[in-house]
Structure 1
């Protein structure tokens, strides 16, 4: 490898289709139960406040689903240099692998497994990146695998 490669993502990831539908369904259910409670309770009762809370929670779920972003920011990166590979998946500690300790790189879809000479495995998941950046990461990791297999560390 003659050139350093670096890709970073720091931001709010999009909700998946399943999660988005889940927030919408729960939002509609909470709003329905809240409205039912509002129309059928005396405003002085404690259940009236619970109905208001359910209504607010359901509205919050719907708004959250419409924004289509997760609440917490994530940091995800990979850096490949001539001496080491450094990567970090979201909510995990950064990991560094020296190329002389790298035995193989296995690419499986949007994940890469770094097999070290002591047979321990480090997994890097790059599903948070767009497809174009993911294909660029795959090409760099394939060239890294070719250098590792050929012994050009």
Structure 2
């Protein structure tokens, strides 16, 4: 009896996974856009020439930055089941748990737990859902902290 219940749960999970995979493929087919500003500036193709952008632009148009190398500034907060870059909050002394996951960019940079800190990070952007429980709009792969903030070439 227990085996039959477990098989039903497995079948239901596989069906949900198939539906999610189909939705992701449909999304990928529908908006294969590139970040035009990055293309015009010949940036975003490698970690040595990342496209400089904002968390706001990444969250609003993730399809335009998917698989591109980006440089983004924000507040890095790490805590229980989270490691992400967030837009600057009104209160910098807020504990990491108070940052809203849906506004964050999942990024693992190997820092120890501490209070939230402003930083600039470079990595390859992958649009979400991603991160813990799929709560984050995207993630940075192969992320590195950049310090000090590099100045654009003129």
TM-score with structure 2 length normalisation?
A: 0.28
The structure richer in helix per residue is 1
User: RCO (CA 8 Å, sep 6+): is it higher in 1 or 2?
Assistant: 1
Relative to the length of structure 1, the TM-score reads 0.28
The structure that has the greater radius of gyration is 1
